[in-house]
Amino acid sequence: MDLTRIRTQADYDDAYRRSVADPEGFWAAQATGFTWKKRWDRVLEHDFKQGRTQWFIGGSLNITENCLDRHLATRGDQVALIWEPNDPQEPAQHITYRELHARVCRYANVLLRNGVRKGDRVCIYMPMIPELAVAVLACARIGAVHSVVFAGFSAQSIADRILDADAAFVLTSDGMARGARKGPVKGLVDEALAGCPGVKRVIVARHTGDPVAMQAGRDVWLHEELAHVDADRPAEAMDSEDLLFILYTSGSTGKPKGVVHTCGGYMVYVDHSFRNVFQYNDGDIFWCTADVGWITGHSYLIYGPLLAGATTLMFEGIPTYPDAGRFWQVVDKHRVNIFYTAPTAIRSLMAHGLAFVEPCSLASLRTIGSVGEPINEEAWHWYKQHIGKGRCPLVDTWWQTETGGILISSLAGVTDEKPSHAAWPLPGVQPVLLTPEGKEIAENDVEGLLAIKFPWPSIIRTTYGDHERCRQTYFSSYPGYYFTGDGARRDADGRYRIIGRVDDVINVSGHRFGTAEIENAINESDFVVESAVVGYPHDIKGQGIYAYVITDRPVTDAEAVRADIVAMVTKVIGPIAKPDKIQFVSGLPKTRSGKIMRRILRKVAEGEMSSLGDTTTLLDPAVVEEIKAGRM
């Protein structure tokens, strides 16, 4: 049997059994088909107590050689990347593997020419344009560590990430176009760099043509630099465990942390999961709608599809521009076979009605997928029936920035699917449900805390610059396990259904925020003394952001104060973290030891005010009545 490709239920059962009985043998077989500059000496070493994992130890490779060079002989003229612009009147771009290889090599030479060296951290802040994918791959080509920052984050968020990663280089563009709006990009980078004296070079891609300020000695234009280089750039030899990238993500405490992924294990896992979950076939056109600024864009827009030799589609715009049929028009235009998006997008398009779907044929679609948040049953059925036309398997893929690739999902048309259930662990993934005390629950038809008890190749290696934080966050609450932060149900047959976060992380439209992170931003408003943020169910976004705020003076103009708070969050984090509801309160429900009882705030925000539970331990039970009365 071809261990790398699962085509039937029996294959899955067999692969899963082997992957548990002999993980090293299983993953060595998966790794064998790649181009290695030097084969690994040992497959795996791990110590979950310390949160340390290494895969393919002693191996040497370059992921871009596997994404690009490896395909040139067989599919050099096949399209690797289709770029669909924001404006449907503008032409799409079709970039073949040969052209992409050349563009990556040339960009890599520009990086070298500008002083970037192996191991250097490079911050990439760019909209969804081909240069973004090229920049990511160019970093990997020369062994620089990319740290992509989603181009919806604020200047302050960019600065925080540059400083944490100690990045001396920034790759960006002049501006961006999203829907009917144009927005600055380089301008935000400039603002960020006022606080980042360590940045030596900024390379700017021209895209919108908007005027930007160029700082002499620091900023250069990509197109001018490209004129000085050729397309010859051998791929740097990387150790399996050398850093491939850092990607910042929010947790329940402190500032976002830099999740680190390394070269060998990430490549092997992302390739395996891509081909098997989506049942990718040669020649398929794959469209992942996620932004490259998130892990989904890293793993399943760039690396996974290119490793498989697929044609991957990158879309610059938004689902509702020029109208709410854009996704479906793009599917028809480019004859997309596999479509992968987030429940939020489905729910928002559902709300626009079928009139936008019906004019499109969608006949090219074979598989549809969901990622990033729980997909409610109504959205699941709508997606399955109206987009998948009842015939496309729907894969609900559960994973995290930290897991690097999909861990729980049905395999399209191979293992069964059930609405709102991610369903089955991928081979090599050993999920367990734990009690709050950390005991494994053996039975089915139960609910518990989701943890994984054995490493898979793309598991988080560390949090950049602070391994202790990684150990504490993921490996210390339940010793011997990787703890996900999610709660889950296992049905009577063993399928998993992800319920959501059990920590102080909220998931808004598939974007992750720590409540503390948003509170810190709100507290920077001049009006605010203290705040507490919780998530509440939101019809479109999955979760909305509900903020309880104590002000330093009586609120006379509530809308002005709210606007100030929203502006502050936009400035500190970005518009994606704006609170949906802001309630002014005179106090927060605190215990005698000063701890905020978020359970109560969550219940009120959810509107479940009759079941607040025990409030007798509160310092001042009267605030609860006030909060209930003022609920938004």
Binding site for ligand PRX (CB under 6 A): 249, 295-296, 371-374, 396-401, 422, 484-486, 498, 500-501, 507, 512
Nearer to ligand PRX, 102 or 371 (CB): 371
Q: Which is nearer to ligand PRX, 208 or 289 (CB)?
A: 289
Beta carbon of residue 498, minimum distance to ligand PRX (angstroms, whole number) = 4
| Residue 403 · residue 456 · CB < 8 Å | yes
Cβ proximity to ligand PRX, 308 vs 408, nearer residue: 408
Q: Residue 38 is which amino acid?
A: K
Residues in the chain: 632
- Whole-number minimum distance, CB 475 to ligand PRX, in Å? 16
Closest CB to ligand PRX among 109 and 403?
403
Of 149 and 202, which has the nearer Cβ to ligand PRX? 149
| Token output for 319 | 């689902």
CA distance to 175, 194, 206, 260, per residue, from 211 (Å): 9, 19, 10, 35
- Taking the C-alpha atoms of residue 173 and residue 228, their distance in angstroms, rounded to an integer, is 19
Q: For residues 315 and 513, which CB has a smaller minimum distance to ligand PRX in the complex?
A: 513
CB contact burial 425-435 (16+ within 10 A = b; e otherwise): bbbbbbbbbbe
Q: Are 371 and 299 in contact (CB under 8 A)?
A: no
18: left (phi over 0), alpha (psi -120 to 50) or beta: alpha
Residue 204: phi and psi, rounded to 5, are -110, 125
Nearest distance in Å: CB 408, ligand PRX:
8
Cα end-to-end distance, the chain, whole Å: 59
Between CA 348 and CA 316, with CA 577 as vertex, the angle to 5 degrees is 55
Residues 562 and 21: their CA atoms lie apart, in Å, by 57
Closest CB to ligand PRX among residues 97, 294: 294
User: Of 406 and 568, which CB lies nearer to ligand PRX in the complex structure?
Assistant: 406
- Minimal distance, residue 387 CB to ligand PRX, in Å: 17
- The one-letter amino acid code at 257 reads K
- Smallest gap from Cβ 355 to ligand PRX, in A, equals 28
Task: Give the nearer residue to ligand PRX in terms of CB position, either 62 or 401.
Answer: 401
Q: What is the DSSP string of 401-462?
A: GGGSS--B---TTTS--BTTB-BSBPTT--EEEE-TTSPBP-SSSEEEEEEE-S--TT---E
Task: Look up residue 629 and give its two tokens.
Answer: 């009365």
Shortest Å distance, C-beta 458 to ligand PRX = 12
Instruction: Find the shortest distance in angstroms from Cβ 121 to ligand PRX.
Output: 20
What is the nearest approach in angstroms of ligand PRX to the Cβ of residue 563? 28
In whole angstroms, the minimum distance from the beta carbon of 556 to ligand PRX comes to 39
Give the relative orientation of helices 23-31 and 9-21 as an angle to the nearest 10 degrees.
120
